[in-house]
Amino acid sequence: MKLRMQNAGQPPRAARLCAAHTGVTLIEALVVVAILAILATLAAPNLRDFITHHRIQTTAEGMRSALAYAKFEAIRRNQSVYFCVTPPNGSSAGKWEIKTPSSPLNPLQFTALRQGTWSSSLTVEINSQRTQASPDGIANERCVQFLANSLPRPEPSSAKVLIVKAGDRSCGIDVQNTIIQLDNPCPQKQP
């Protein structure tokens, strides 16, 4: 009973020892920070490649989807629909637009159906052999025309219509008579 009375107002010895050592020392914290810095340095190049890969793939897939939509609209409206690309100009980003003549009576007036842009960190090469000048005379704009029967103009060939690039990676977009497809795999390393 005497032992209990001596320790009656105090916590057990193990609890007193733990209470004296809560937290971490400065050296322990610096070691953890150094390890995290080393891991971040090792992961940064892979993360940069992943982001570039994702940007190329997302932009190419968006343009492929827009081309398919233009083709669909040409069939649905029973008239020509244009998918047009304007490269970046100075500080402005590159853009694409799907447009159709506003009325059969005035084929030089166009209505935009959809529009989009791409990141300034990407380059989009436009094949001048597979595209035509803008029907409404916009400078530097190149277009793929889908006729009412859904066939693209100019005529399909083995060359890609658009190539989305960043660094040593690219993804081509091809428009054939019945299909619009991306390179497989997309993106891929350039030789």
- CATH number for 76: 3.55.40.10
Q: What residues have CB less than 8 Å from 100, skipping those under 6 apart?
A: 73, 77, 79, 80, 81, 82, 110, 111, 113
Residue recorded with tokens 């890969």: 53
Structure tokens at 125: 């090469």
| Domain assignment of residue 180, yes or no | yes
| Domain assignment of residue 40, yes or no | no
Q: How many domains does the chain contain in total? A: 1
Separation CA 61–CA 180 (nearest Å): 10
pTM of the model: 0.73
Amino acid letter, 173: I
pLDDT given for residue 65 in this prediction: 92
Amino acid letter, 18: C
pLDDT digits (tens, 9 = 90+) for 57-109: 999 999 999 999 998 999 898 888 999 988 887 777 888 999 988 877 776 78
| Domain assignment of residue 20, yes or no | no
| Domain assignment of residue 19, yes or no | no
Q: Is the predicted pLDDT of residue 51 greater than 80, yes or no?
A: yes
| Domain assignment of residue 99, yes or no | yes
| Domain assignment of residue 184, yes or no | yes
| Domain assignment of residue 29, yes or no | no
Per the CB < 8 A criterion, the answer to whether 71 and 84 are in contact is: no
Domain extent, residue 112, equals: 46-189
| Domain assignment of residue 126, yes or no | yes
Mean pLDDT value across residues 2-25: 59
Angle at Cα 154 formed by Cα 180 and Cα 83, nearest 5°?
55
